Amino acid sequence: MKRFLGLDTLCADHPGLLKPKDLAALLMDDLRDCQCYIYGCIGDDEQILLSTLSLLPETVLYEMFDQRIDFTVAGPILRNDCVPLTYRLQGGLFAITGRCSMIARVCGVDLYLQKSYTGQIGDIARQKFSLDIKALLKLHQSA
């Protein structure tokens, strides 16, 4: 269920063939103020915001050899009246959406929340992300 959104829009103004370092630069710029929203569900209300995690700028690292961007987001848990089910990592144009879980090895989940996501209101949750530049470049070129 993991979906990448806005990649074509992000790359639209870049003339010619994108190289990994070019895409990495575009993504790092787009994600500089990104936030990750964690949602739960109660009944028919499918998007109850449980937590908003903001980028920790000092954690952003581009690994040229592995061609990936690693970064961490963190923020307080706002609600605990339902379990986390979905997430949205939102940059300026680029976004990732998918299913999440606090429980390891749940089928159909793209993001396992780290142990810092305790489910206790007020606790600070941290989540690491890693973006595979080669895979995103391949996805963009096939579109």
Give residue limits of the domains in the chain: 3-142
pLDDT in tens, 6-51: 999 999 988 778 999 999 999 999 999 999 999 999 887 778 999 9
**Amino acid, res. 127:** Q
- The answer to pTM > 0.85 is yes
Do residues 134 and 25 touch, judged by C-beta distance below 8 A?
no
Q: Which amino acid is at 86?
A: T
- pLDDT tens digit sequence for 86-115: 999 999 999 999 999 998 878 889 999 999
C-alpha span between 58 and 39 (Å, rounded):
26
Distance between CA atoms of residues 133 and 19, nearest Å:
9
